[in-house]
Amino acid sequence: MTDSASSGQPKLTAHVKAAGCAAKISAGELGEILRELPSLKSPALLTGMDHFEDAAVYRISEDVAIIQTTDFFPPVVDDPYTFGRIAAVNALSDVYAMGGRPVLALNILCFPTCDYPLEIVRAILKGGADAIAESGAVLAGGHSIQAPEPIYGLSVTGLVHPSAILTNGGAKAGDALVLSKSIGTGVGLLGMKGEQLSATAQQSLLKNLTTLNDQILAAGLQYELHAATDITGFGLIGHLHEMAEASGLLASINAAGVPLLPAVRQLAAEGFVPAGAYANRQTYQPFVNYIDAVDDSLMDLLFDPQTAGGLLFSLPAKDATLLTRDLKALGVAAATIGAFRTGKSGQVEVSLYDKA
Protein backbone atom coordinates (compact mmCIF):
# COMPACT_ATOMS: atom_id res chain seq x y z
CA MET A 1 0.00 0.00 0.00
CA THR A 2 1.16 3.51 -0.70
CA ASP A 3 2.02 5.43 2.41
CA SER A 4 0.89 8.91 1.51
CA ALA A 5 0.58 10.41 4.98
CA SER A 6 4.11 11.79 4.89
CA SER A 7 3.93 13.31 1.40
CA GLY A 8 1.10 15.70 2.21
CA GLN A 9 -1.31 14.44 -0.43
CA PRO A 10 -4.59 12.96 0.79
CA LYS A 11 -5.08 9.20 0.87
CA LEU A 12 -6.84 8.01 -2.24
CA THR A 13 -9.90 6.87 -0.28
CA ALA A 14 -9.82 9.84 2.11
CA HIS A 15 -12.87 11.65 0.86
CA VAL A 16 -14.73 8.79 -0.70
CA LYS A 17 -18.16 8.41 0.84
CA ALA A 18 -19.17 5.12 -0.67
CA ALA A 19 -16.65 2.81 -2.19
CA GLY A 20 -16.77 0.44 -5.13
CA CYS A 21 -20.12 -1.03 -5.95
CA ALA A 22 -21.29 0.29 -2.61
CA ALA A 23 -21.26 3.62 -4.46
CA LYS A 24 -23.98 2.36 -6.78
CA ILE A 25 -27.33 4.09 -6.75
CA SER A 26 -29.67 1.74 -4.91
CA ALA A 27 -31.97 -0.53 -6.90
CA GLY A 28 -35.01 1.17 -5.41
CA GLU A 29 -33.82 4.64 -6.41
CA LEU A 30 -32.70 3.41 -9.80
CA GLY A 31 -36.14 2.00 -10.47
CA GLU A 32 -37.62 5.40 -9.68
CA ILE A 33 -35.14 7.18 -11.93
CA LEU A 34 -35.54 4.87 -14.90
CA ARG A 35 -39.33 4.69 -14.70
CA GLU A 36 -39.94 7.64 -17.01
CA LEU A 37 -37.14 6.79 -19.41
CA PRO A 38 -38.51 5.38 -22.67
CA SER A 39 -37.59 1.71 -23.01
CA LEU A 40 -36.53 1.49 -26.63
CA LYS A 41 -36.85 -1.81 -28.37
CA SER A 42 -34.97 -3.16 -31.35
CA PRO A 43 -35.06 -6.71 -32.68
CA ALA A 44 -31.27 -6.63 -32.62
CA LEU A 45 -31.15 -5.65 -28.94
CA LEU A 46 -31.13 -9.04 -27.28
CA THR A 47 -31.03 -7.88 -23.67
CA GLY A 48 -31.55 -4.41 -22.39
CA MET A 49 -32.61 -2.72 -19.20
CA ASP A 50 -35.25 -5.23 -18.19
CA HIS A 51 -34.43 -7.33 -15.14
CA PHE A 52 -31.31 -5.26 -14.35
CA GLU A 53 -29.29 -7.31 -16.83
CA ASP A 54 -25.51 -7.05 -16.47
CA ALA A 55 -24.89 -5.59 -19.93
CA ALA A 56 -26.56 -4.78 -23.23
CA VAL A 57 -26.27 -7.38 -25.98
CA TYR A 58 -26.76 -6.37 -29.61
CA ARG A 59 -26.81 -8.84 -32.48
CA ILE A 60 -24.78 -7.67 -35.47
CA SER A 61 -24.91 -10.86 -37.54
CA GLU A 62 -26.18 -14.43 -37.27
CA ASP A 63 -22.97 -15.48 -35.56
CA VAL A 64 -21.94 -12.40 -33.63
CA ALA A 65 -23.49 -10.27 -30.94
CA ILE A 66 -21.67 -7.49 -29.14
CA ILE A 67 -21.86 -7.03 -25.40
CA GLN A 68 -21.58 -3.42 -24.30
CA THR A 69 -21.11 -2.37 -20.70
CA THR A 70 -19.61 0.32 -18.51
CA ASP A 71 -18.71 0.46 -14.85
CA PHE A 72 -16.73 2.94 -12.76
CA PHE A 73 -16.42 4.08 -9.15
CA PRO A 74 -14.30 6.04 -6.67
CA PRO A 75 -11.22 4.48 -5.03
CA VAL A 76 -11.88 1.44 -2.86
CA VAL A 77 -8.28 1.11 -1.67
CA ASP A 78 -5.43 3.58 -1.19
CA ASP A 79 -2.96 1.84 -3.46
CA PRO A 80 -3.57 3.37 -6.91
CA TYR A 81 -2.39 0.38 -8.96
CA THR A 82 -4.64 -1.99 -6.99
CA PHE A 83 -7.58 0.37 -7.33
CA GLY A 84 -7.10 0.51 -11.10
CA ARG A 85 -6.96 -3.24 -11.32
CA ILE A 86 -10.07 -3.74 -9.18
CA ALA A 87 -12.07 -1.22 -11.22
CA ALA A 88 -11.07 -2.92 -14.47
CA VAL A 89 -11.76 -6.43 -13.16
CA ASN A 90 -15.17 -5.21 -12.04
CA ALA A 91 -16.01 -3.60 -15.40
CA LEU A 92 -14.79 -6.58 -17.45
CA SER A 93 -16.89 -8.88 -15.30
CA ASP A 94 -20.17 -7.80 -16.90
CA VAL A 95 -19.00 -9.26 -20.21
CA TYR A 96 -18.16 -12.59 -18.58
CA ALA A 97 -21.52 -12.57 -16.80
CA MET A 98 -23.19 -12.55 -20.23
CA GLY A 99 -21.08 -15.46 -21.41
CA GLY A 100 -18.83 -13.39 -23.69
CA ARG A 101 -15.19 -12.45 -24.04
CA PRO A 102 -14.02 -8.83 -23.81
CA VAL A 103 -12.29 -7.49 -26.94
CA LEU A 104 -12.10 -3.74 -26.53
CA ALA A 105 -11.89 -1.40 -23.53
CA LEU A 106 -11.89 2.37 -23.09
CA ASN A 107 -10.80 4.15 -19.92
CA ILE A 108 -13.17 6.42 -18.02
CA LEU A 109 -11.29 8.71 -15.69
CA CYS A 110 -12.19 11.61 -13.41
CA PHE A 111 -9.23 12.95 -11.48
CA PRO A 112 -8.25 16.04 -9.48
CA THR A 113 -4.73 16.49 -10.87
CA CYS A 114 -4.07 19.37 -8.46
CA ASP A 115 -4.53 17.18 -5.38
CA TYR A 116 -2.36 14.23 -6.32
CA PRO A 117 0.92 13.77 -8.19
CA LEU A 118 0.54 12.45 -11.71
CA GLU A 119 2.28 9.19 -10.84
CA ILE A 120 -0.83 8.28 -8.87
CA VAL A 121 -3.11 8.51 -11.88
CA ARG A 122 -0.48 6.75 -13.97
CA ALA A 123 -0.52 3.85 -11.50
CA ILE A 124 -4.31 3.66 -11.57
CA LEU A 125 -4.29 3.40 -15.35
CA LYS A 126 -1.48 0.85 -15.24
CA GLY A 127 -3.48 -1.35 -12.88
CA GLY A 128 -6.43 -1.17 -15.25
CA ALA A 129 -4.31 -1.76 -18.35
CA ASP A 130 -2.71 -4.86 -16.83
CA ALA A 131 -6.10 -6.38 -16.04
CA ILE A 132 -7.34 -5.57 -19.56
CA ALA A 133 -4.25 -7.17 -21.09
CA GLU A 134 -4.77 -10.26 -18.96
CA SER A 135 -8.36 -10.50 -20.21
CA GLY A 136 -7.15 -10.54 -23.82
CA ALA A 137 -8.97 -7.30 -24.65
CA VAL A 138 -7.33 -4.26 -26.24
CA LEU A 139 -7.19 -0.92 -24.47
CA ALA A 140 -7.91 1.67 -27.13
CA GLY A 141 -8.12 5.04 -25.39
CA GLY A 142 -10.71 6.66 -23.23
CA HIS A 143 -11.85 9.95 -21.79
CA SER A 144 -10.64 11.93 -18.77
CA ILE A 145 -11.86 15.02 -16.95
CA GLN A 146 -10.97 17.02 -13.86
CA ALA A 147 -13.27 16.26 -10.94
CA PRO A 148 -13.16 16.77 -7.17
CA GLU A 149 -13.18 13.02 -6.50
CA PRO A 150 -11.15 10.42 -8.37
CA ILE A 151 -13.25 7.95 -10.38
CA TYR A 152 -12.00 5.21 -12.64
CA GLY A 153 -13.57 2.48 -14.71
CA LEU A 154 -14.05 1.18 -18.20
CA SER A 155 -16.41 0.91 -21.05
CA VAL A 156 -16.01 -2.59 -22.41
CA THR A 157 -17.10 -4.26 -25.62
CA GLY A 158 -17.30 -8.03 -25.72
CA LEU A 159 -18.29 -10.64 -28.25
CA VAL A 160 -20.58 -13.64 -27.89
CA HIS A 161 -22.37 -16.01 -30.22
CA PRO A 162 -26.07 -15.06 -30.12
CA SER A 163 -26.99 -18.62 -29.16
CA ALA A 164 -24.47 -18.69 -26.31
CA ILE A 165 -25.62 -15.59 -24.42
CA LEU A 166 -25.98 -16.17 -20.71
CA THR A 167 -28.66 -14.09 -19.05
CA ASN A 168 -30.02 -14.07 -15.54
CA GLY A 169 -33.36 -15.28 -16.89
CA GLY A 170 -32.72 -18.80 -18.10
CA ALA A 171 -32.68 -20.76 -14.84
CA LYS A 172 -34.82 -23.92 -14.69
CA ALA A 173 -36.62 -25.48 -11.74
CA GLY A 174 -34.34 -28.03 -10.12
CA ASP A 175 -31.15 -26.16 -11.07
CA ALA A 176 -28.45 -25.82 -8.48
CA LEU A 177 -26.82 -22.47 -7.74
CA VAL A 178 -23.05 -22.37 -7.75
CA LEU A 179 -21.35 -19.25 -6.44
CA SER A 180 -17.72 -18.40 -7.22
CA LYS A 181 -15.55 -16.05 -5.16
CA SER A 182 -16.34 -15.17 -1.54
CA ILE A 183 -18.90 -12.67 -0.29
CA GLY A 184 -18.09 -9.71 1.95
CA THR A 185 -16.05 -7.22 -0.08
CA GLY A 186 -18.16 -4.22 1.02
CA VAL A 187 -17.73 -5.01 4.70
CA GLY A 188 -14.12 -6.08 4.13
CA LEU A 189 -13.20 -2.83 2.37
CA LEU A 190 -14.63 -0.81 5.25
CA GLY A 191 -12.58 -2.94 7.64
CA MET A 192 -9.49 -2.41 5.52
CA LYS A 193 -10.07 1.33 5.44
CA GLY A 194 -10.38 1.26 9.23
CA GLU A 195 -7.20 -0.85 9.49
CA GLN A 196 -9.10 -3.67 11.15
CA LEU A 197 -7.88 -6.45 8.88
CA SER A 198 -4.97 -8.78 9.57
CA ALA A 199 -2.40 -9.10 6.79
CA THR A 200 -3.80 -12.47 5.70
CA ALA A 201 -7.41 -11.29 5.78
CA GLN A 202 -6.41 -8.30 3.66
CA GLN A 203 -4.60 -10.57 1.24
CA SER A 204 -7.71 -12.72 0.80
CA LEU A 205 -9.85 -9.64 0.25
CA LEU A 206 -7.50 -8.21 -2.37
CA LYS A 207 -7.21 -11.55 -4.16
CA ASN A 208 -11.02 -11.75 -4.33
CA LEU A 209 -11.14 -8.20 -5.71
CA THR A 210 -8.40 -8.56 -8.32
CA THR A 211 -9.25 -11.97 -9.77
CA LEU A 212 -10.70 -11.80 -13.29
CA ASN A 213 -13.82 -13.82 -13.92
CA ASP A 214 -12.43 -15.18 -17.22
CA GLN A 215 -11.34 -18.57 -15.92
CA ILE A 216 -14.41 -18.81 -13.74
CA LEU A 217 -16.63 -18.40 -16.81
CA ALA A 218 -14.49 -20.88 -18.78
CA ALA A 219 -14.96 -23.43 -15.99
CA GLY A 220 -18.72 -22.84 -16.01
CA LEU A 221 -18.95 -23.20 -19.79
CA GLN A 222 -17.76 -26.80 -19.51
CA TYR A 223 -21.28 -27.52 -18.26
CA GLU A 224 -24.80 -26.80 -19.42
CA LEU A 225 -25.28 -23.36 -17.88
CA HIS A 226 -28.88 -22.14 -17.80
CA ALA A 227 -28.28 -18.70 -16.32
CA ALA A 228 -25.49 -16.58 -14.92
CA THR A 229 -24.89 -13.19 -13.36
CA ASP A 230 -22.08 -11.50 -11.52
CA ILE A 231 -22.54 -10.52 -7.90
CA THR A 232 -22.04 -6.78 -7.57
CA GLY A 233 -23.83 -3.80 -6.07
CA PHE A 234 -27.18 -5.39 -5.22
CA GLY A 235 -25.50 -7.99 -3.02
CA LEU A 236 -25.97 -11.75 -3.15
CA ILE A 237 -29.66 -11.64 -2.28
CA GLY A 238 -30.40 -8.78 -4.67
CA HIS A 239 -28.82 -10.59 -7.60
CA LEU A 240 -30.48 -13.86 -6.58
CA HIS A 241 -33.82 -12.09 -6.57
CA GLU A 242 -33.19 -10.59 -10.02
CA MET A 243 -32.23 -14.00 -11.37
CA ALA A 244 -35.21 -15.71 -9.75
CA GLU A 245 -37.63 -13.09 -11.02
CA ALA A 246 -36.19 -13.07 -14.54
CA SER A 247 -36.50 -16.87 -14.56
CA GLY A 248 -39.96 -16.94 -12.97
CA LEU A 249 -38.72 -19.16 -10.15
CA LEU A 250 -38.09 -19.25 -6.42
CA ALA A 251 -34.48 -19.39 -5.19
CA SER A 252 -33.72 -21.33 -2.05
CA ILE A 253 -30.32 -20.89 -0.44
CA ASN A 254 -28.45 -22.21 2.56
CA ALA A 255 -26.84 -19.14 4.11
CA ALA A 256 -24.40 -21.29 6.07
CA GLY A 257 -22.94 -22.57 2.80
CA VAL A 258 -22.13 -19.17 1.32
CA PRO A 259 -18.34 -18.67 1.18
CA LEU A 260 -17.39 -15.60 3.22
CA LEU A 261 -14.14 -13.66 3.27
CA PRO A 262 -12.11 -14.00 6.46
CA ALA A 263 -12.99 -11.61 9.31
CA VAL A 264 -16.06 -10.10 7.64
CA ARG A 265 -18.56 -11.81 9.93
CA GLN A 266 -16.87 -10.25 12.95
CA LEU A 267 -16.55 -6.87 11.21
CA ALA A 268 -20.23 -6.83 10.29
CA ALA A 269 -21.16 -7.70 13.88
CA GLU A 270 -19.07 -4.73 15.04
CA GLY A 271 -20.85 -2.33 12.73
CA PHE A 272 -18.53 -2.11 9.75
CA VAL A 273 -21.49 -2.26 7.39
CA PRO A 274 -21.70 -0.04 4.29
CA ALA A 275 -24.79 2.07 3.64
CA GLY A 276 -25.40 0.07 0.48
CA ALA A 277 -26.01 -3.08 2.52
CA TYR A 278 -28.80 -1.36 4.45
CA ALA A 279 -30.25 0.01 1.21
CA ASN A 280 -30.15 -3.43 -0.42
CA ARG A 281 -31.80 -4.92 2.63
CA GLN A 282 -34.59 -2.39 2.44
CA THR A 283 -35.09 -2.97 -1.29
CA TYR A 284 -34.97 -6.76 -1.31
CA GLN A 285 -36.34 -7.70 2.13
CA PRO A 286 -39.91 -8.04 0.76
CA PHE A 287 -38.74 -10.86 -1.50
CA VAL A 288 -36.96 -12.82 1.22
CA ASN A 289 -38.53 -15.58 3.25
CA TYR A 290 -36.47 -16.74 6.23
CA ILE A 291 -36.91 -20.40 7.03
CA ASP A 292 -34.41 -20.05 9.86
CA ALA A 293 -33.47 -17.14 12.05
CA VAL A 294 -30.44 -15.57 10.35
CA ASP A 295 -28.49 -13.23 12.61
CA ASP A 296 -27.80 -9.64 11.63
CA SER A 297 -24.13 -10.04 10.78
CA LEU A 298 -24.80 -12.85 8.31
CA MET A 299 -27.81 -11.02 6.89
CA ASP A 300 -25.69 -7.87 6.41
CA LEU A 301 -23.27 -9.96 4.37
CA LEU A 302 -26.01 -11.49 2.23
CA PHE A 303 -27.03 -7.92 1.35
CA ASP A 304 -23.48 -6.52 1.26
CA PRO A 305 -22.78 -4.75 -2.05
CA GLN A 306 -19.95 -6.58 -3.78
CA THR A 307 -17.17 -5.03 -5.82
CA ALA A 308 -15.67 -7.20 -8.56
CA GLY A 309 -17.69 -10.13 -7.29
CA GLY A 310 -17.69 -13.61 -8.73
CA LEU A 311 -20.15 -15.28 -11.08
CA LEU A 312 -23.29 -17.04 -9.91
CA PHE A 313 -24.29 -19.98 -12.11
CA SER A 314 -27.56 -21.83 -12.43
CA LEU A 315 -27.05 -25.30 -13.85
CA PRO A 316 -28.42 -28.86 -13.61
CA ALA A 317 -27.97 -30.11 -10.05
CA LYS A 318 -25.99 -33.16 -11.20
CA ASP A 319 -23.16 -30.91 -12.44
CA ALA A 320 -22.97 -28.60 -9.44
CA THR A 321 -20.45 -30.64 -7.45
CA LEU A 322 -18.24 -31.04 -10.52
CA LEU A 323 -18.25 -27.34 -11.29
CA THR A 324 -17.55 -26.47 -7.66
CA ARG A 325 -14.59 -28.86 -7.76
CA ASP A 326 -13.27 -27.32 -11.00
CA LEU A 327 -13.54 -23.81 -9.57
CA LYS A 328 -11.73 -24.78 -6.40
CA ALA A 329 -9.00 -26.31 -8.54
CA LEU A 330 -8.49 -22.84 -10.03
CA GLY A 331 -7.86 -21.54 -6.53
CA VAL A 332 -11.23 -19.76 -6.42
CA ALA A 333 -13.64 -20.01 -3.50
CA ALA A 334 -16.77 -21.81 -4.68
CA ALA A 335 -19.80 -23.57 -3.26
CA THR A 336 -23.22 -24.87 -4.17
CA ILE A 337 -25.35 -22.45 -2.21
CA GLY A 338 -28.88 -23.46 -3.15
CA ALA A 339 -31.35 -24.34 -5.85
CA PHE A 340 -34.21 -23.02 -7.95
CA ARG A 341 -37.67 -24.45 -7.79
CA THR A 342 -41.15 -23.50 -8.91
CA GLY A 343 -42.84 -21.16 -6.51
CA LYS A 344 -43.43 -17.49 -6.08
CA SER A 345 -41.41 -15.78 -8.82
CA GLY A 346 -38.50 -13.74 -7.49
CA GLN A 347 -38.80 -15.06 -3.94
CA VAL A 348 -35.57 -15.90 -2.12
CA GLU A 349 -35.83 -18.44 0.66
CA VAL A 350 -33.01 -18.43 3.19
CA SER A 351 -32.29 -21.49 5.34
CA LEU A 352 -29.41 -22.13 7.65
CA TYR A 353 -28.08 -25.67 7.76
CA ASP A 354 -24.89 -26.10 9.71
CA LYS A 355 -22.93 -27.39 6.75
CA ALA A 356 -23.56 -27.10 3.05
Partner 1 sequence: MEERIDLRGLTCPEPVLRTKRLLDDQSILKVEALVDDQVCVNNLSRLSRSLKATVTALPKEGYFQVVIERGQSDAQLSRSSEKHGQPAAKPAESSLADSSQKTAEVIFLAKDTFGDGDAEFSKTLLSLFLQSVLETGHQPRAILMANTGVRLMAADSPALKVLQDFKANGCEVLACGLCVEFYGLKDVIAKDQITNMFAIVEYLFAAEKVISP
Catalytic residue numbers read: 21
- DSSP per residue over 269-306, as a string? HTT---HHHHHHHHHHGGGEEESSPPPHHHHHHHHPPP
Interface mask (CB under 8 A) for partner 1, residues 336-355, using x and -?
Answer: -----xxxx----x-xx---
Nearer to partner 1, 223 or 290 (CB): 290
Evaluate whether 257 touches 336 at the Cβ level (below 8 Å): yes
- Segment 2 to 61, residues that bind partner 1, using CB under 8 A: 15-18
- Segment 207 to 266, residues that bind partner 1, using CB under 8 A: 252
Q: How far is CA 221 from CA 88, 255, 301, 322, in A?
A: 22, 25, 28, 12
- Binding of partner 1 by 117 (CB under 8 A): no
Q: Which of 59, 181, 193, 226 binds partner 1 (CB under 8 A)?
A: 193
Q: Which residues contact 4 (CB under 8 A, 6 or more apart)?
A: 10, 11, 12, 78
Do the bridges between strand 175-180 and strand 288-290 make them parallel or antiparallel, or are there none, so unpaired? unpaired
Nearer to partner 1, 16 or 225 (CB): 16
Nearer to partner 1, 216 or 250 (CB): 250
Min. distance of Cβ 47 from partner 1 in angstroms?
Answer: 29
Judged by CB under 8 A, which stretch of 85-93, 158-166, 296-304, 325-333 contacts partner 1? Answer: 296-304
- Binding of partner 1 by 293 (CB under 8 A): yes
Q: Which of 82, 180, 211, 297 binds partner 1 (CB under 8 A)?
A: 297
Min. distance of Cβ 40 from partner 1 in angstroms?
Answer: 34
- Binding of partner 1 by 126 (CB under 8 A): no
Q: How far is CA 215 from CA 25, 240, 285, 308, 331, in A?
A: 29, 22, 33, 14, 10
- Binding of partner 1 by 273 (CB under 8 A): yes
Evaluate whether 12 touches 78 at the Cβ level (below 8 Å): yes
Q: Which of 185, 348, 333, 229 is nearest to 281 (CA)?
A: 348
Judged by CB under 8 A, which stretch of 31-39, 200-208, 293-301, 321-329 contacts partner 1? Answer: 293-301
Judged by CB under 8 A, which stretch of 163-171, 271-279, 310-318, 322-330 contacts partner 1? Answer: 271-279
Q: Which of 271, 318, 329, 330 binds partner 1 (CB under 8 A)?
A: 271
Report the residue count for the chain: 356
Nearer to partner 1, 26 or 107 (CB): 26
Q: What is the dihedral of CA 76, 78, 82, 84, to 10 degrees?
A: 60
Q: Which residues contact 159 (CB under 8 A, 6 or more apart)?
A: 64, 65, 66, 67, 100, 101, 103
Residues interacting with partner 1, by CB under 8 A?
Answer: 15-18, 190-191, 193-194, 196, 252, 268-275, 278, 281-282, 285, 289-294, 296-297, 299-300, 341-344, 349, 351-352
